[in-house]
Structures are given as structure tokens and as C-alpha cells.
Amino acid sequence: MADEKRPVQAVDGSPKKRLFWSIISDYSLKTALCELIDNALDQWLLDKNGPPLIIGLDLDVDRKLISIKDNAGGVKFDDLHLLVAPGGSRNDPLAELIGVFGVGNKRAAIALAENIEIRIRHENGKTHELDIAKQWIESEDW
């Protein structure tokens, strides 16, 4: 029998953005805030020689605004996509960190708000802003 090669057909396994809605069904305000604070702790733990960690949390009930600020070190520009990519993470699965699944930041942000602004700077570099709005999540375009 001749060795026949079948044509290879690619299958697109890219996640759909509606995945975000499915991962927040059991998330509370407390859980989401803890996740975001855990992310700062994890980042700070990666840099053993950094300054003492400072995390500020501001809850403005009247304006319905939550702000979390830290000095944990930030994310490099080339890694910004990890903040929105499901499963995206720089964490070593064997490291002794709090969050290792790559969905915590995304899950917490989507659970907390319809409009999310993430401003991030790595060390003393340029500040970058990621805006995640309900319209972006509902569109199929990444």
C-alpha cells in the first residue's frame, strides 16, 4: 500500500473573548481585590532586591472607582499582552508564588468593572495604559 499523505488542515483553537464572562461567575469583590493584590506580591517576590513593598488600595464608593497602586516593579512592554491573554503568565509554575494560573488579573478586572484602565510602568521606564471596556470584550476582535 502506498504511503499516502493526508492534507493537513489547521484547526483554530484561539480562545473567544466570551471566555472572560465564564470565568467570573463566582467572583466577589473581596476575591477580585485579593487577586490583584496577590499579583503585586508575586511580582515583588520575583525581585529579591527590591524596595519594601507598598500597596495602596482606594475604594471610592461615590464614584464607583477602585484603584490599586503598588511599587512591585511593573511589567515590561513586551509582556503587556500577558495582562489580557487568557492563560498568559510569566510565572514559573514551580516558583513559590501565590497566583500561577494566568487568569487572575483578567478575571479580577472583568469581575470588578465594565471599564478597566491598567496603567503600568516597568521600573523607571515609560508608562503604558491598557483600556479594557465591555465593548472590547463583546467583540470577537483581539
Give pLDDT tens digits for 21-37: 666 667 778 888 888 88
Q: Three cell numbers at 68?
A: 490599586
Q: Which residues of 80-109 are buried (b: 16+ CB within 10 A; e: fewer)?
A: bebbbebeebebeeeeebebeebbbbbbbb
The pLDDT assigned to 102 comes to 47
User: What pLDDT, in 10s, does the model give residues 38-62?
Assistant: 888 888 888 777 789 999 999 999 9
pLDDT score at 100: 43
Q: 87-112: per-residue pLDDT in tens?
A: 555 555 555 555 544 456 666 777 77
Mean pLDDT of the chain: 76
For residue 140, is pLDDT > 90? no
Q: Which of 130, 135, 12, 17 is nearest to 81 (CA)?
A: 130
Domain boundaries, the chain: 19-138
Whole-structure pTM value: 0.66
CATH label, 19-138, candidates 3.30.565.10, 3.40.630.10, 3.30.70.100, 3.40.50.2300: 3.30.565.10
Residue with more model confidence, 126 or 12: 126
For residue 23, the model assigns a pLDDT of 65
Question: C-alpha angle 57/59/60, rounded to 5°?
Answer: 140
In the block, residue with C-alpha cell 509582556: 79
Distance CA 78, CA 88 (A): 12
* Amino acid letter for position 115: N
Beta bridge partners of 13: none
Return the C-alpha cell found at 75. 511589567
Q: Which residue has the cell 521600573?
A: 123
Three-state secondary structure of 36-61: HHHHHHHHHHHCCCCCCCCEEEEEEC
